[in-house]
A = this chain, B = another copy of it.
Amino acid sequence: MADSFAVKQFMAVEQPHRAVIIGGGYIGLEMADALTVRGLAVTLLEFAPEVLTTLDPELGAHIRAELTSRGVQVATGKAVAGIGRQQQKLCVQTAAEERWAADLVLVAAGARPASALARTAGIPLGDGGAIRVKRTMATTVADIFAAGDCAETWHRLLNRNTYMPLGTTAHKQGRVAGENMVGGQREFQGSLGTQVVKVFDRIAARTGLRDRGAAAAGFDPLTVALTAWDHKVYYPGAEGIHLRLTGDRSTGRLLGAQIVGHRRSEISKRIDIFAAALHQGLRVEEMCDLDLSYTPPLSSPWDPVQLAAMQWCARQSGT
């Protein structure tokens, strides 16, 4: 919050024209959107080959296209080496000696848990330096509980703790911790890594595992890609939705999904259909049995999430 108010104050006083954002994740993308809307010329620098590395690069590319179409200069594969000053300007430079001048530089290159208090108190830390917790949100020290961005998160599909700071998870963990601190016996039911971000008029959402994470966890992942209309194309305003669906080849189990599309295409709640299915351990094929809602202005008799499932099943069976 303090950073946010400081940026707002700086903008009111200094009236910067040119911003460089370091990091093409959620915060970097949202700030690229917000600063562009406020009239700044924005450059976004990302270390990876594509923005939004929480999605497969094929989908990240759609977000890059949205950024570019709104005038954001996107430079990927850039390792920032330092930030200096040149006359009145800040100057961001890479190891390869590329330079970007700026009136404002935002560093949004990832989050770390604020677990210093716990560490000082001798409470063991775990994944990514987050406070080690059980599913009751108890730390390994008696009568001390932890929840939220400072603590580990149990992953429902990986069946182990991870560091994955998300607001939704923090709220759930807080309730579990609270209930147990007053004598309850509840367990956190786990995260699927469900996430969504708005970048101008595009929404990017994901839930569950992608190929690499699934393979590392011992699954045999198969991923299919599909572009489908968000609703019946004869009804005005249809937009394409880009989906990627990952399932386990040997068991047929749904492992994860990613969707990018227009902000009016119910992307966020479409990923939530996958999240609800994942929570219950559904097989991909069972997605096609779900009785989902349909009216021509909003979907098709087979919703895009089901079309993706059908394509996965056809690929798995080799038909």
Give the B-binding residues of A (Cβ under 8 A): 156, 166-172, 189-198, 203, 205, 207, 263-264, 266, 268-273, 275-277, 279-280, 282, 286, 288-295, 297-299, 301-303
Contacts and interface: CB of A to CB of B under 8 A. Distances in A.
A237 B49 CA distance: 35
Given A167-B301, A276-B276, 9 more contacts: A171-B302, A189-B286, A192-B291, A197-B295, A268-B293, A269-B272, A269-B273, A272-B272, A275-B293
B293 A195 contact: yes
Given A203-B298, A282-B280, A301-B171, A292 B275 contact: yes
A287 B84 CA distance: 50
Contact of A272 (B194, B198, B293): B293
A246 B198 CA distance: 32
A168 B203 contact: no
A198 B293 contact: no
A88 to B, nearest CB: 34
Contact of A194 (B195, B291, B297): B291
Contacts of A193: 291
B198 A295 contact: yes
A173 to B, nearest CB: 11
B291 A279 contact: yes
Copies in the complex: 2
Nearest to A30: B295
A269 B290 CA distance: 12
A297 to B, nearest CB: 5
Contacts of A203: 298
B279 A205 contact: no
Contacts of A293: 168, 194-196, 205, 207, 268-269, 271-272, 275
A235 B6 CA distance: 20
Nearest to A33: B297
A269 B293 CA distance: 7
Nearest to A292: B272
B291 A191 contact: yes
14 contacts: A166-B294, A196-B294, A196-B299, A197-B295, A198-B297, A207-B293, A268-B269, A269-B273, A272-B293, A275-B291, A275-B293, A276-B276, A276-B280, A276-B292
Nearest to A170: B301
Closest 4 CB pairs of A and B: A269-B269, A189-B289, A276-B276, A196-B293
A161 to B, nearest CB: 15
A114 B191 CA distance: 48
A203 B302 CA distance: 19
Contacts of A170: 301
A289 B276 CA distance: 10
A169 B301 CA distance: 8
B299 A268 contact: yes
B268 A295 contact: yes
